[in-house]
Amino acid sequence: MRLIKRFISYYKYELPLTLLDIFAASGIAVLDLLFPMITRKMMKDFIPALDVASIFRYGLVLLLMYFVVLILHYIVDNYGHVAGMRIETRMRQDLFTHMQSLDVEFFDNNRTGSLMSRIMNDLHEVSELAHHGPEDLLISAVMLVGATIYLMRINVPLTLLIVAFVPLMIFFAIKTRKKMARAFSSIKEQTAVINSDIENSISGIRVAKSFANEDYEFERFNKANHSYRQSREGAYHHMAVFYSGLNFMTNLLNGAVLVFGGYLTYLGKIDLADLTAYILFVSMFIQPIRKLTNFAQQYEQGMAGFKRFAELMETKPKIVDGENAVNLTNVKGRVTFENVSFSYTGHAEVLRDISLEVEPGKTIALVGPSGGGKTTLCHLLLRFYQPQDGSIKIDGIDLRDIKLSSLRQTVGLVQQDVFLFAGTIRDNILYGRPDATEKEIVEAAKKAEIHDFISSLPNGYDTYVGERGIKLSGGQKQRIAIARLFLKNPPILILDEATSALDNVTEYRIQDSLKKLSEGRTVFLIAHRLSTVKDADSIVVLEEGKIVEQGTHAELLKTSGVYAELYGSQHVADPEKAFLLI
């Protein structure tokens, strides 16, 4: 019931169209009941009496009713579908908005293709239920009640025979409905799996081709495709049992009415005109039952999708704004880590009791072996994750007391794995600040040493970059990401291997621009190439989640510790020895 109430709540957004659809559906149901009544009247009174005037008069009434039904059917088929589509659109909007609020950890644990399936495929069938559900139920109720009352006036025993079949049909529908529900839920799950596999294979097509693993990808896809086929075949089996069973019971009802009605005609309990009208009304009686059976299938398909929608909507982010969270203003850029420890779910600690203070406007470099926790430390600063112990502060304010939107406007990030959105170069630079002017975009590109390249392209800033920026080189993508950061112009910067994909000449030019950007700002610089961190105000060496050394470049070389060893391995003359040291 809670799920149904939540589903019904979406009708309030499209109430005028929904009411129009229901009104038109009600009109169709009432007029459909009038057609057999007029048929009975003509066969019982006008045709035997050869009343031609009444025959033609009622014929004109029928013609008028046909036109009215035509209009009503147009309203139901057009505006009813529009209402369902708009409800689907709102649900999809709500789901996408909600997903934007979920933690990074949620996306770490869920496949992209599966989430896409929930947003697109599942909600399409919800739309069909939203449209057809109310009208089918209403038409069925009006026609069942109306037909029963009218048939009772013609012949009570024959009507009771028909009514006796209804509980049998309902019992059969309920018995098979649960199996249909499980079958359609399985289809949803398998659809999500196959979508995930397809999305994964297409995204990694270059890797697959480079390893000549097309056959492996086919086998993996074929396995998911086979499971999907089995799920659909199972659903079709239960659906066939459902419909064939109901069709059989409908045929039994038709036969019973014909035989019992013929017997009552023999006894003189009903005349031929009434029996003809009765047979027509039986068809009208069966129509709503068929609608109800169609509704049962749509309900199972639609609610299976809506259940998955509701499950996602009820997934709550772990990292949210505190009750009295504030916006950061006049940010100086002092960052403090106090006894911070962190581990990913079910894994060993990545950071252990980290205490670190960064003065405003200073550049701190994080170095050390891979897996030491450098990137994780910076992700905690953005509150992508929440530390299990300790606290992180900006200008003395705990991150938990700062609004997430304000925090992430304050901190700028360029990652080693650059992500560009499918679109133009301008779109991707504008992502740093969507309201920026053309002049500001060009200025940011110049600072990132990418303007000359962009200008050399036939379409300039309107050049399409392809999926994930595939049409650009690694260095070009990275410079666009840096331009995006220049445009954002935040007081705190995180440069996670920001120049790792650049050649030495371009890197030198970018480093000069980054120094200008870094003036007066707090900078976290993550680098494996230690030549890029020599000028940092402080260098922090992380190893196995702990700070093992801290100091300036000159100070750390004198200690002959981890940093000195790493630095020496990158500047040793013998390449083989360097490889062994690294």
The CATH number of domain 2-313 is 1.20.1560.10: yes
d(CA 539, CA 367): 7
d(CA 494, CA 365): 10
pTM: 0.70
Q: Which tokens go with 488?
A: 């954002």
Q: Which residue, among 377, 550, 411, 391, has the nearest Cα to 485 in the 3D structure?
A: 411
Q: Which residue, among 355, 346, 409, has the nearest Cα to 377 in the 3D structure?
A: 355
The domain segmentation of the chain, as residue ranges, is: 2-313, 335-581
Taking CA atoms, 38 is separated from 32, 72, 267, 273, 486, in Å, by 11, 20, 26, 12, 78
Q: Which residues contact 438 (CB under 8 A, 6 or more apart)?
A: none
Q: Which residue, among 557, 516, 547, 527, has the nearest Cα to 365 in the 3D structure?
A: 527
The CATH number of 335-581, from 3.40.50.10780, 3.40.50.920, 3.40.50.300, 2.40.160.40, is 3.40.50.300
Q: Which residue, among 290, 288, 34, has the nearest Cα to 150 in the 3D structure?
A: 34
Q: Which residues contact 117 (CB under 8 A, 6 or more apart)?
A: 188, 191, 192, 195, 196
| pLDDT tens-place values along the chain, 582 residues long | 777 888 888 888 888 888 888 888 888 888 887 887 787 778 777 777 788 888 888 889 888 988 999 999 899 888 888 888 888 888 888 888 888 888 888 887 877 777 877 787 778 778 878 877 787 888 888 878 887 887 788 788 888 887 787 777 777 776 776 677 677 777 767 777 777 777 667 666 656 665 566 777 777 778 878 877 887 777 788 778 877 887 788 788 778 888 888 888 888 888 877 777 777 777 667 777 777 767 777 787 788 788 888 888 888 888 888 888 899 888 888 999 999 999 887 677 889 898 999 999 888 999 888 778 888 898 899 888 888 899 999 998 999 999 988 898 888 888 777 778 878 888 888 888 888 899 998 988 888 888 888 889 888 888 888 777 777 877 788 888 888 888 888 899 888 876 665 667 767 766 776 777 777 889 998 887 777 788 888 999 888 889 888 988 888 888 878 888 887 776 654 444 433 333
- Grouping H, G, I as helix, E, B as strand and the rest as coil, residue 525 is strand
Whether 543 and 368 have beta carbons less than 8 Å apart is answered as yes
Q: What is the DSSP letter of 579?
A: H
Q: Which residues contact 465 (CB under 8 A, 6 or more apart)?
A: 420, 422, 423, 424, 425, 428, 471, 472, 477, 480
Q: Which residue, among 359, 114, 365, has the nearest Cα to 224 in the 3D structure?
A: 114
State the Cα angle at 552 between 549 and 553, rounded to 5°: 95
d(CA 109, CA 420): 22
d(CA 191, CA 370): 37
